[in-house]
Structure 1
Amino acid sequence: MTSNKIKGNPVQKVISYLLAILLLLLVLIPFITALVSSFKTADDFYGNSYTLWPSDWRIENYLDAWNFAAFGTFLKNSIVCAVVVTICSTIISSFAAFGFARLHFFGRDVIFYIFIMTQGIPFVVLFIPTYLLMNNLGLVNTLAGLILPLISFPMGTFLMRQTMLSIPIDYEYAAMIDGCNRFQMFFKVFLPMVNNTVMALAIFTFMGSWNNYIWPLVIISDQKLYTLPIGLTLYTVQSSMGRRPEWSVIMAAALLSVLPIMIVYCFASRRFMEGIALGGLKA
């Protein structure tokens, strides 16, 4: 009764809605500002008074952003890296999670907790040893050297393991009675039942790889291999040459770079939320 009264309290509802609107504005205002600014002219930025609304809507800024500094090449490199990292990381995390959740072997839980603890080590600490390893393998300044250290995602394994632990053991017994081996059990029983979590993991991994800046900056020096986060820095090169940066073009390039992530999330948002919810069902 008390719980229902609290949930139905109009004052709390109004406060909740106001807080939600405030948080939404805090997120949307920078994005809307960047969107509007991407259509501005140079005079709007460097005039005597700042104007939020463009005096003249300049769509050509997006064409300039695409043609400047090989944007298409940066986009292709980002797509290749993000797709390969997402596929490899999702497969590895799924197999590892199945082993930690459903296979019984000596030291399983200890190995799992040590594996998860590595997530707490900042990647910056691992830069030098990882770079030396890639150098010894001859993978410095290659897309393979950029991709390889990113395909292991401990939190992805944790998320998948939690979901697989929530599946009743009766399904496992039924699969064994039907003559399924471990691989068949994984592909035919468990993987279809955790497809929402797989989708959530894939989106997490894709976004992390797409937005990765530090590691590509360390491992890549050839401009033809730049990904979008690194390539976008070239748009500010005018300031180092004594020229005024074209902020409208920079804004347009930044918005073009986040467009693929927005498209992916819009099409998979429902499964993403369901997968996150399922990932915390059982400890």
Structure 2
Amino acid sequence: MQYIWINGNSDQGVSPDNRALAFGDGLFETMRLSGDCISHDQLHLHRLMDGCRRLNIPFSQATAESDFKLALAVVESSAHKFWRLKYIVSRGATDTGYFCDNTVVPERIMLLEPFTRDVVSLQQHGVSVIPCRWRLSHQPALAGMKHLNRLDQVMARQEWSSSDIFEGLTADSEGNWIEGTMSNLFVVDKTGCVITPRLDNCGVAGVMRHVVMNTLCPKLGLLVEEKNISTFESADEIFLTNSLIGIVPVTRLADKTYKIGQITRGLQRALNTKESGL
């Protein structure tokens, strides 16, 4: 079951001249819906609008909010508990060539489908990950954005096919570990400090990463730092985050095993409390 809207319409197609198809010229957000709300919707909107500003895409937040209401109307009348919403903003459709002026009208593609993955099991039991050989491209001007150019992630994801491996970690050109192909990376060192990689030159500044750094860690009185991670030798705990899976512990990285520590568990509980509104 999948619902698709193009520019707010369920019976409209995508033009082959769309710059999202031709050049990856645009941005996207992946969100979790439950009941009558989109989890962390304001953070998703903030990142989307910041990306539009940085890419000079003249897009209105009110348009996105109106589109989201279409998705919520479906969710509210459904028996499914959780849904995944992918929202794409393209610069629009133009003639052949890279150039376009500011008269081009942005286009939106919205995909909604039930989210059935057993996230609770992932969160409780942890996952296995591998280090990827593929290196992330260096481009400070695009760092942090969730733009449509995902070839780095596509190529890194080809490095494993086993269902026993949940995720692959990717490093930058200097060997600093940055993120997973679909998640942000956190390490808890032996002093209890929560560390996540700097995203100055590459990587996606995830919404759940923001929640952990700016809401959950301060709430629990945990020190959190952004800094380069070139090795996991000092790691006492490792966990991954994204908007769909929340906070998921890493129990194996390559051939080394890790415990699910108290800090990871504390952050999970704090997130569950925040999202349940308790």
Q: TM-score, normalised by structure 2?
A: 0.25
The structure number with the bigger radius of gyration is 1
Which has more strand, going by share of residues?
A: 2
Q: TM-score, normalised by structure 1?
A: 0.24
Which has more helix, going by share of residues?
A: 1
